[in-house]
Amino acid sequence: MTSEPETVAELVLARERDHRPGLRFEDRELSHHQVTAAAAARAALLRDLLDARSARHLGVLLDNTPEYPLWLSAAALAGAAVAGINPTRRGAELARDILHTDCRLLVTERAHLPLLTGLDLPGVRVLVTDTPAYDELLAPYCGAAPEISPDATPAARLLLYFTSGSTGAPKAAVCSQRRLAAAGHSLVRHFGVRPDDVHYVCMPMFHGNAVIADWAPALAAGAGVALRRRFSASGFLPDVRRFGATYFTYVGRAVQYLLATPARADDREHSLRLGFGTEAGAVDARRFEERFGVRLVEGYGSSEGGAAIQRSSGTPDGAIGRAAPGDDLAVLDPGTGKECAAAEFGPGGRLLNGDAAIGELVNRGRSPFEGYWRNAAADAERVRGDGWYWTGDLFYRDASGYLYFAGRADDRLRVDSENLAAAVIEAILARWEPVAAVAVYAVPDPVAGDQVMAALALRDGVSFDPLAFSAFLLAQGDLGTKMAPRFVRVLPRLPVTATHKVARAALRGEGFRRAGSGAGAGERGELWWRPRGGGGGGYREFTVGDEEAVVGEFRERGREGVLGEE
């Protein structure tokens, strides 16, 4: 039996004589052979431009154009590492990301040049891909023989990708050639990826999802890749049909955006067979399959590679799956380090003991986590003294060992001394038919702890009906008495990050401020509330007088400082 290649460089080289379609973008098409040849030319250029005495890192500040996977492949052949640079970062923060990852080379395009204006980037050479100067620089290297550098070992760094933490500067997680190749092989086996498949890459390639879960398995199987410059809900199905795509990955709210597009009689006329991602939720996954005939597989794998959960047949609705064979995943109380109680469910699947069952997912066994680039404090936060990997994500576990996602560690709410998880409440609110997308988060309580707030984006042409929403809440048997939102903000669209995750920090920052007429009023939408609390109570519009009264209550209790500033 032939062993699987241990490096991405070997996977790139394996396609050298493959003349089938390998990479498609808009009206361009490259064969696998042409992709390998183009990667070899860039690898040869890299060897001349990067100093072997320093970190062999290049930053890539590009949309999903063919140059992105070509430079990934080139870095693999040359034994260098790619730092994915987020184009939504600005000014000093953007410069910090480039300099922190020790990039000596920055590959970008004309559209992103304004982002670099005025930045102090000492020692960084900038290559602009869509210019004559770039073509002239690359021309002497075209025809370079594809070869693997001695530096391209299994342990060699290949990716430095920033995690989207909610506080502090983003951390650059390290991914080696071995780990990326292994992830590709694993997904090929798990999903039965074939050489004649086409992977549609519409999530941004500066993020781990698109590279690890979409590009890597395509490379490992010899499947084709089709790129979309940036995600577009309206362009999704036309792209899928044009490219013959069979597989895609998603993150965050992309599925909700697709479901919000107008339904058509030909929604099932396409080649797509599978979507793989996170945070779509069971309700929207079911709606997606009913409408488009495509199964969505919700998975879990920490961005840093420290823990993963496998979904298998028999996984209950709402659960992600179980630990992979040989892994030792546990749900622990972050305060005591002790294992949380097994989840208990009531009628309708309501979680009865969230306070005791919800904790942080911890890998107590082997972990492929390879650390953060030059951030020992962050490494120590992830891997504690016992060698266990703490994910920073909340879960609960049933008596059969199935794991249920309950949100990020900073998504926990404490209402009337009871711990609640945002993801659990979101899954319930997502059942309301008018909802296109929902986010649940904490706002301060005037006395202590938190109040539940929900941001709702409704389907086109639908207005918020407070009586219908209250009736819906009363009909949900698994909605606990503390879970009903005290405040509801109705928005045309939820704010999202560049990776299509809900920008919760922005929502928390708005708190329960009214739309008003000042700066930012357009983004605040409508605001409704339940003045006297009580699960399922009636909602009314939040007025100027209401805001003054609530702020006054905080002031009376000496908690005005938790409201932040306007």
* pLDDT tens-digit readout, 300-328: 877 788 888 877 778 888 888 988 777 89
Sequence-separated (6 or more) residues with CB below 8 Å from residue 542: 487, 512, 514, 527, 528, 529
Separation of alpha carbons 387 and 365, rounded Å: 8
DSSP state of 191: H
Residue 166 has pLDDT above 60, yes or no: no
Provide the pLDDT for residue 252. 66
Supply the pTM of this predicted model.
0.80
Return the SS3 of 560: helix
Separation of alpha carbons 480 and 411, rounded Å: 17
Max Cα separation, the chain?
75
Contact 212, 299 (CB under 8 A): no
* Cβ atoms within 10 Å of 290's Cβ, excluding its own: 11
Residue 566 has pLDDT above 50, yes or no: no
Q: What is the mean pLDDT of residues 497-517?
A: 75
Provide the pLDDT for residue 323. 85
Separation of alpha carbons 82 and 71, rounded Å: 8
- Listing DSSP states for 267-320 in one string gives TT-S---EEEEES--HHHHHHHHHHH--EEEE-EE-TTSS-EEE--TTPPTT--
Nearest 5°: phi and psi at 284?
-70, -30
- From 70-79, 184-193, 340-349, 467-476, the region with the lowest mean pLDDT: 340-349
Nearest 5°: phi and psi at 51?
-75, 125
Separation of alpha carbons 318 and 336, rounded Å: 27
pLDDT digits (tens, 9 = 90+) for 455-464: 999 988 899 9
Q: What percent of the chain has pLDDT over 90?
A: 60
pLDDT digits (tens, 9 = 90+) for 11-24: 999 999 999 999 99
Spatial CA neighbour of 452 closest among 422, 427, 407: 422
Provide the pLDDT for residue 60. 98
